[in-house]
Amino acid sequence: MSTPDSAAIGAWHAHIYYDPNATKDRAAALREKIARAFPAAVIGRWHDETVGPHTRPMYQVAFTHDLFAGLVPFLALNRDGLAVLIHADSTGDHAADHTDHAIWMGEVLPVKTAQWA
């Protein structure tokens, strides 16, 4: 198996997971902090139901490589107990990006990869 080339990473996604009944307020507060601190990041819509490979409700934050060094530590310090998945986007291997190459903060959640098999 060949080693992935980090130069293939064009952008990043952070998925902020929450429980719509118990932690959505914390997720909303974090969302507002991200928007203020990183206006170039693109914050996706709320998904109060599971979607795609994700097994818990979430919203996505898309960001470029130049924001990584600021946004990732920001999430580490401000996630308020929420689980966060950070993964490369555009490497061409979606399953590996969401699993083998993933960066987790907090609880590590299962990811459904069958759609990429």
What pTM was estimated for this model as a whole? 0.91
Residue 52 inside a domain? The answer is yes
Cβ contact 56:18 at 8 Å: yes
The CATH number for 99's domain is 3.30.70.1240
pLDDT digits (tens, 9 = 90+) for 53-97: 999 999 999 999 999 999 999 999 999 999 999 998 867 778 888
Residue 116 inside a domain? The answer is no
Give me the domain span that covers residue 100: 10-107
Residue 62 inside a domain? The answer is yes
Task: Label the pairing between strands 103-105 and 84-89.
Answer: antiparallel
The pLDDT value recorded for residue 101 is 85
Residue 112 inside a domain? The answer is no
pLDDT digits (tens, 9 = 90+) for 11-64: 999 999 999 999 999 999 999 999 999 999 999 999 999 998 999 999 999 999
